[in-house]
Amino acid sequence: MTTSVKQEAPHPTTDAADALRELRAREFSRLDADGQVYVDFTGGGLYAASQVTRHGALLGGGVFGNPHSLSPSSVRAGAVVEAARQRVLAYFRADPAEYVAIFTANASNALKLVGESYPFTAASHFLLTFDNHNSVNGIREFARAHGAATTYIPLGPDLRVEVAALEAALSNRDPSAGNLFAFPAQSNFSGVQHPLEWIDRARGAGWDVLLDAAAFVPTNRLDLSVWHPDFVTLSFYKMFGYPTGVGALIARRTALARLHRPWFAGGTISVASVQADRHLLAPGGAAFEDGTVDYLGIPAIEFGFDVLDQVGVEAVHDHVATLTGRLLDGLNSLRHANGAEALHIFGPTTGAQRGATVALNFYRADGTLIDHREVETRAAAHRISLRTGCFCNPGAGEAALHLTRSEIDRCFPTDPDGGGFEPFRQCIDPQKGTGAVRISFGIASNVADVDRVLEFARSIVQA
């Protein structure tokens, strides 16, 4: 299997760097005004000031009604929703003849649509990498309900997928059944970027491919005229902070036609009858937009794309790659006075084949682990917003922390009323821990943010 080797990203051009500085000053001035350092872009993007202003003006200047009507207010709402839908396809360079954009509540809802509707049978196979988000892992429950097999591809050094194991698994399928392969374009735990060449390799081997792009697309170009996954899932608040509560499933029309919805709802049918006990789903993507779409929030998507387009996602990519390199260089140089390791980075320690997400844990001079929750508390005191835990990615967390199956089986809680995670945490070896510290950059990040984080990291080492 061939894999692409992504070289260290170049520094942004002078023009791009100037544009990003101006964008920060114009759209995100509240960060500096409040003395805040925000490094949780993988958790959620920050909205630009103009997004809120323009959205407010749109709502304040128009009358918008439920689109399921021919009234003037409904027609107007339908028009802005459809304009946003076309903008999504255009941004991802998706041919409307090949792809359809379906609005969802978030990426998790988009993934659930695929999982509940995929034609799993007892002969099917659900294949996924170890480092998937829980919203992808959850699809295994739909597969299990139909008797389908589920296989996880393990992670090797730097939390990268073991390619030989993936190659072997792709060759193991029953061609008479539907088989689904799911992987993240970028791990939300470690920042590892998996080769998009896997899409063509898997589809060529007869698999449908589900690409979780939620952590990837805020700072990377996903070009669907080059790559052709069957399903792509994403959330717009991860891309540009606003609106929350709106995501998308971008699906190939031929793949969408193979899905079978297990229920119907308002907005998804052409006709339904109580007496006849029958229903007919609406054609295409409309059958997957349950109820009434967020017709007031969806138009704000266009304003978010406008902000990204002011500088271009390629410039954002180069910018955050430079910041990540600066962070990694600074972290890799930290040692305690006695020479002991001050921290451990989970995943790649260089900028190659990775995104702007860095996971790590800190250690005291005597080698004992500093609990990630303590680090988060200290960071908050420094007005730094970062994230700790396992980030809804248990597979990557288990691999990073070297948690064994026997440990997890022994400690896994069985009583939902017995405290949930806390007994599990107390049972696990405290030197391994149950989570990590995650730092991630985005369009509004700058060098000063990196240096504040490094200053904070040094304060932990010196404590």
Report the half-sphere exposure of 400 (CA within 13 A, side-chain side).
31
* Rg of the chain taking only CA atoms, in angstroms: 23
Quote the pTM value: 0.94
Q: What's the start-to-end Cα distance of the chain, in Å?
A: 47
The pLDDT of residue 283: 87
Q: 390, 392, 411, 427: which is the annotated catalytic residue?
A: 392
392 assigned to active site: yes
> Where do the structural domains in the chain lie, given as residue ranges?
14-49+312-462, 50-308
Q: State the architecture of 14-49+312-462 in CATH terms.
A: Alpha-Beta Complex (3.90)
Hey, what are 276's tokens?
A: 């006849």
The pLDDT of residue 442: 98
- The whole-angstrom separation of Cα 233 and Cα 427 is 35
CATH number belonging to domain 50-308? 3.40.640.10
CATH fold match for the domains 14-49+312-462 and 50-308: no
- Tell me the H-state helices in 221-366: 236-240, 253-256, 300-311, 313-332
Backbone φ and ψ of 231, nearest 5°:
-140, 135
Report the half-sphere exposure of 260 (CA within 13 A, side-chain side).
5
Contact assessment for residue 271 and residue 53, using Cβ atoms and an 8 Å cutoff: no
- The whole-angstrom separation of Cα 5 and Cα 349 is 15
Mean pLDDT by 10 residues, the chain (463 residues): 42 82 97 97 98 97 94 96 98 98 97 98 98 97 98 95 96 95 98 97 97 98 98 98 97 96 87 88 88 95 97 96 97 94 95 96 96 97 96 95 92 76 85 94 98 97 81
